[in-house]
Amino acid sequence: MIVFLSKRLVHSLFVLLLVVFCSYSLMGLMPGDPIDLMAIGNPDLTPADIARMKAQLGLDQPILVRFWNWLVNGLHGDFGYSRFYHLPAIDVILPAAWNTIKLVGLATILSILIAVPVGVFAALRPKSWIDYTIGFLSFVGFSTPAFFLALMLMLLFSVHLGWLPAGGSGEADGEGFWFRAKYMILPVLALTILSVASVSRYVRSSMLEVMRQDYIRTAKAKGASNRYVVWKHAIKNAMIPVVTIIALDFGTLLSGAVLTESVFAWPGMGKVLLDSLAGSDYNVALLCIIVITINMLLGNLLADVAYTKLDPRIDLNKGASA
């Protein structure tokens, strides 16, 4: 396990560095750096003033030199300043990342608790009206865009019924935890529906494949009850490919949170990312990309470790040395 984790850490750092470099390069090549935007708003600036300010900020240097300077400063905790929020970029992203983790983490837990039983239930009754109904609802949920689902939930529960707030986080009102928790219900519900629709389809497919295996028929032939076979043998083996889907679905939830947070005005990374891109606040946008990449890499690492818990025969060290 130690060998695998060491090699995976090196691999993850390389992937993270590559993603950060590509993102920094693309943002650096985009037209309209902060000095150009300042010059548009201040016609009194001369070309000499613009050139001098770009030299002070290092914007006149090649992109590789600028990236190296940014990376060295970032390793010392300096990720630049946010021109949109007027704060250090790290001070902007930390509370936003925590808000997104709460949202996506809760949605992931709920989706697993709902999708796994639903998928198993559908697989145990193939080609029945229950199976067709679950499949149809999963298809509808999987095909619905995140922003459209968020708007429909807002229209139903906030506009027509008036049960839940339409947006925000409730932090400005200074109330207690349960008062602020109701602001999370609609965005968590939107993300959960999207995830359940995806994961339940894979659970059903994996369960159907496992139930056709020889060891399942052998266990039934020996007199084991259907419930024992399902819970003792089938579900654990069916979850091995589903764990990968859940890890990838965690990244999908993060991307879906960008639109969901914007619709519900939830102060998370998705809203911060869109606001920073719209305001050309590239320091904050780059930090958002870094946090999302780290979450994706961490999710895949946890999925690999979970394989060994589901099937002790899986040796990660052999895969690491291959």
pLDDT per residue over 57-88, tens digit each? 666 677 787 788 888 888 887 777 777 777 88
pLDDT band at 320 (very low <50, low <70, confident <90, very high): very low
Which helix (H) or strand (E) segment holds residue 87: the answer is: strand 87-88
- pLDDT of res. 321: 41
Could you tell me which residues come within 8 angstroms of residue 201 by beta carbon, excluding any fewer than 6 positions away? 119, 135, 138, 139, 142
- pLDDT of res. 123: 83
Most confident stretch, 154-163, 226-235, 269-278: 154-163
Burial of 185 (0-12, 13-18, 19+ CB in 10 A): middle
Q: Poorest-confidence range of 29-38, 85-94, 243-252?
A: 29-38
Q: Strand 87-88 to strand 81-82: parallel, antiparallel, or no bridges (unpaired)?
A: antiparallel
CB 247 within 8 A of CB 303: yes
pLDDT band at 40 (very low <50, low <70, confident <90, very high): low
Q: In the chain, which residues fall in CATH 1.10.3720.10?
A: 89-315
**Above 80 in pLDDT, residue 38?**
no
Most confident stretch, 15-19, 161-165, 216-220: 15-19
- pLDDT of res. 22: 85
- pLDDT of res. 172: 56
* φ, ψ at 59 (rounded to 5°): -75, -10
DSSP state of 55: H
- Of 289, 288, 319, which Cα lies nearest the Cα of 303? 319
pLDDT tens, residue by residue, 260-288 = 777 887 777 777 887 777 777 778 888 88
Amino acid at residue number 289: I
- Of 209, 188, 249, which Cα lies nearest the Cα of 120? 209
Mapped onto helix, strand or coil, the DSSP state of residue 88 is strand
Higher pLDDT, 41 or 140: 140
- pLDDT of res. 109: 87
Query: CA 138 to CA 20: how far, in whole Å?
Result: 35
Determine the distance from the C-alpha atom of residue 81 to the mean position of all C-alpha atoms in its chain, rounded to a whole number: 25
**Above 60 in pLDDT, residue 322?**
no
Tokens of 21: 């470099």
What percent of the chain shows pLDDT beyond 70? Answer: 79
| Alpha helix segments (H runs only) across 58-88 | 63-75
Give CATH for domain 89-315: 1.10.3720.10
- pLDDT of res. 57: 63
Q: Which residues of 128-149 are buried (b: 16+ CB within 10 A; e: fewer)?
A: eeebeebeeebeebbebebeeb
pLDDT, averaged across the chain: 77
**Above 80 in pLDDT, residue 185?**
yes
- pLDDT of res. 174: 53
